[in-house]
Amino acid sequence: MAPRMHLTTLSAAIRGVVAEIVRIEVTMEPTGFPGFAMVGLPGAAVRESRVRVLNALDHVGYRFGDRHIVVNLAPADLPKSGSALDLALAVALLGAAGVVPAEAVASTMLVGELGLRGSIRPVSGVLPFMVRARQDRMACAIVPAGNAAEAALVGGIDVRAAEDLAGVVDHLRDQRPLPAGDQPDLGERPAPSPDMTEIRGQNAAKRAAEGAAAGGHNLLLSGPPGAGKTMIARALAGILPPMSGDAMIEPAAGHSAGGLLRRGVRYLRCRPFRAPHHSVSIAGLVGGGGIPRPGEVSLAHNGVLFLDEMPEFGGYALDMLREPLEEGRVTIARASGVTAMPARFTLVGAMNPCRCGHAGDPKGRCRCTDSDKRAYVARLSGPLLDRIDIRIGVPSLSYKDISDSRPSESSASVLERVVRARCLQAERRARLGLPEGSNATLPGGSLDVVCALDPAAKLLVEKVVKGQGLSARGYTRVLKVARTVADLGGRAVVRDDDVAEAVHYSRDIREEEAAAVVQKGRQVAGAWGVMES
């Protein structure tokens, strides 16, 4: 009786935004009743790989239709989906038949979908695959040529680009090496669109966006249609500090898992900007599915999540944002296990003051009742609003603003201040032994040290807390934003005008009782040349 033949190859499966190693174990009986059995929780696309793989092998001259084949996908309790395991399965069959030496695949990750004629097609998730291969100290990875640039973003592993199965066989038999995947040229960071200079008027809102970018604060823009809220939100993405290294790889992994890097990697110089429609499902927003996949909050990691017409989103969907806003991650529990995905983003919300959008219009165009207005605004829950540090009104533009052709400050100029402010924050955190992050993520125990107030600022904060009933969370929010305003001005100590501007962005206090403080904020911001009268 001919002996059984065994071989194991290595590939991976995506769970959330990370890759789990999959060992493809093949046992082949040279004689006996022909058959092909696959175990290990294969999904529909994985089960169908039998047809693709056997046809591809037949096309390149290897037939296994008369063999009894058993395939085990380990670990057996990890669900496997997609077509990325095709190449590893084909090589395992070839190795079990003695065509490919076992030592050639002992430390090689194999990724790719096979066509019926042996071509190797791009797949989703190659970037997380390479991150895992580097973590496990694999020597080599063979990936589809269409994924080579993406795979090469992760250093520390020999990436080889394959066009077809025959080329992989020649490479593993040491006959004709596959070309190496070269580190891609990401080019220069593209110009922001729109640029801050394109936004007419709205100096107060642009100043608020600058503070949000400098401190990593969440931002809510409220105003009538056509006032420029969407332009300001999109311009904010262009004044966030550029990314490099692991800060760039981390959000890109989510995009790779979602198949969004197939169009190329050059845009990775930009921070993510995600703007889901208000009809998005819960799974689409925060992630989910039988095998958890990243949602918009994870795709926006290290970037901006923009929710236009924010009250139109479902209340349950908005409340699902509370965990990622607080923890910087989203956790999805399934019967098969718990998956955690990164979700540290800057939330930018835009809303109308009422359903028709014209509340407070001097021409009296609003027909909403007071109860209608209250119900519309109440769609944003208090706990969610508590996690939005900066809130600013975006009024209708006057003819003077629209027709003003004088150039305003560019995004490049604003970005310089934002980068300087972020550098100050990084140096301060390093000096105090705090973890990396922005002012928005400062731990509560460090506020007294980080947000050092001068005597006048202390008096103003005391007045606001005692006189206006500012909550503990509101107090913390004011201090963090004031710290960011001071950082933009290059000041080590927070002054009373920094506090006043921060209070102006807070809506925890009742406006009629805070008139004096808000007026102070307007005066201070006016000194910056950013606040309309």
The pLDDT value recorded for residue 267 is: 62
Q: Per-residue pLDDT averaged across 183-204, rounded?
A: 78
Residue 514, pLDDT > 60, answer no
- The β-bridge partners of 349 are 220, 307
Report the CATH architecture of 442-533.
Orthogonal Bundle (1.10)
Tell me if residue 74 falls in helix, strand or coil.
strand
| Chain segment 400-418, per-residue pLDDT in tens | 777 777 778 888 899 999 9
Report which of 168, 203, 196 is spatially closest to residue 86, judged by C-alpha positions. 168
The pLDDT value recorded for residue 4 is: 62
- The CATH class of 5-172 is alpha beta
CB atoms within 10 A of CB 503: 27
Tell me if residue 8 falls in helix, strand or coil.
strand
Asked whether the domain spanning 187-240+271-401 has the same topology as the one spanning 5-172, the reply is: no
Please tell me the distance from the alpha carbon of residue 264 to that of residue 311, in angstroms, as a whole number: 35
Please tell me the distance from the alpha carbon of residue 238 to that of residue 71, in angstroms, as a whole number: 49
| Chain segment 206-257, per-residue pLDDT in tens | 999 999 999 999 999 998 888 889 999 999 988 998 887 777 888 888 888 8
| Chain segment 44-96, per-residue pLDDT in tens | 999 999 999 999 999 989 988 788 899 999 999 889 999 999 999 999 999 99
Report which of 389, 383, 391 is spatially closest to residue 220, judged by C-alpha positions. 391
Report which of 103, 85, 108, 263 is spatially closest to residue 178, judged by C-alpha positions. 108
Q: Which CATH superfamily is domain 187-240+271-401 in?
A: P-loop containing nucleotide triphosphate hydrolases (3.40.50.300)
Tokens 């800057």 map to which residue? 346
Domain definitions of the chain by residue range: 5-172, 187-240+271-401, 442-533
| Chain segment 116-153, per-residue pLDDT in tens | 999 999 999 999 999 999 999 999 999 999 999 889 88
The pLDDT value recorded for residue 330 is: 92
β-strands 113-114, 120-121 pairing: antiparallel
